[in-house]
Amino acid sequence: YNYQVTHFVTSAPDIRHLPADEGIEVAFAGRSNAGKSSALNTLTNQKSLARTSKTPGRTQLINLFELQPGLRLVDLPGYGYAEVPEELKRKWQKALGEYLQKRNCLKGLVVLMDIRHPLKDLDQQMIQWAVAVDLPVLVLLTKADKLASGARKAQLNMVREAALAFMGDVQVEAFSSLKKIGVDKLSQKLDTWFSE
Ligand code: GTP
Ligand code: MG
């Protein structure tokens, strides 16, 4: 697929306001500041398709992008942002779980984690939820440019090993928007999900 023609369609304040549950959706999830919006921009080769920010919690709406009629990429708000009140965090975490479990058109989940701090509790929860409903997962270890190649490989191997415990379709790759690492791996995975 040509991801460069991806364009913004709409924003939803919560999962109840998403467009009709039709076509194929692939969602990008991860902690605040993990690099979700940057990864979408890198994939689509667009500077500001998804808004990025140094301030965690920038993406507060669910943003939907379309690469072809009925084929959508979804930028989910980041979880685990410390400044958000506990109550709101719980609400959002519940909504994410519902989205993963009930959205029929969702065919794959990309979970992004900073390569220096992977597999936090909420990351594991996202993967568990996905595996529980047979949703394939691509884990991207982002900001791989921040580590030298030895340390990068060590982290990749560690997370791949840990991912086996989820007993599901979980692939793990290193990724960098800055250095364009792992972009082919991402587009190849999306190609398979969008053609099913
Ligand atoms: P929220 O929308 O707040 O959940 O964050 P996000 O996951 O969308 O992160 P975003 O893409 O906005 O990036 C957060 C910060 O990380 C920004 O300052 C980016 O410039 C930086 N960043 C993203 N990707 C990379 C990368 O590959 N390498 C480096 N070095 N920095 C990156
Ligand atoms: Mg974002």
> Which residue's CA lies nearest to atom 28 of ligand 1?
143
Rounded to whole angstroms, the Cα distance separating 121 from 13 reads: 25
Return the H-helix or E-strand segment holding 61.
Answer: none
- Reported ipTM: 0.99
Measured from the CA of 58, which atom of ligand 1 is nearest? Answer: 3
User: Where would I find the H helices in the chain?
Assistant: 36-44, 86-102, 121-132, 149-163, 183-194
- The residue type found at 178 is L
User: Which residues sit with their C-beta closer than 6 Å to ligand 1?
Assistant: 30, 32-38, 52-54, 56-59, 77-78, 142-143, 145-146, 176-178
Residue-level pLDDT at 59: 59
Measured from the CA of 78, which atom of ligand 1 is nearest? Answer: 4
Instruction: Give the Å distance between the CA of 32 and the centre of ligand 1.
Output: 9
Give the torsion through C-alpha atoms of 150, 187, 75, 152, to 10 deg.
0
* Tokens representing residue 82 in the block: 């410390």
Instruction: Give the Å distance between the CA of 92 and the centre of ligand 1.
Output: 20
Instruction: Give the Å distance between the CA of 51 and the centre of ligand 2.
Output: 6
| HSE, side-chain direction, 13 A CA sphere, residue 100 | 26
Instruction: Give the Å distance between the CA of 33 and the centre of ligand 2.
Output: 7
Which CATH number is 3-194's, of 3.40.50.300, 3.40.50.970, 1.10.1040.50, 3.40.980.10?
Answer: 3.40.50.300
Per-residue pLDDT of the chain (196 residues; tens, 9 = 90+): 999 999 999 998 878 889 999 999 999 999 989 999 999 999 999 999 988 776 665 556 889 999 999 999 999 988 887 777 788 788 888 888 889 999 999 999 999 999 999 999 999 999 999 999 999 999 999 999 999 999 999 999 999 999 999 999 999 999 999 999 999 999 999 999 999 8
For the chain, what are the domain ranges? 3-194
Give the torsion through C-alpha atoms of 131, 120, 79, 29, to 10 deg.
-40
SS3 sequence of 134-181: CCCEEEEEECHHHCCHHHHHHHHHHHHHHHHHHCCCEEEEECECCCCE
Ligand nearest to the CA of 29: 1
Rounded to whole angstroms, the Cα distance separating 116 from 157 reads: 13
pTM (2 decimals)? 0.95
Rounded to whole angstroms, the Cα distance separating 43 from 29 reads: 15
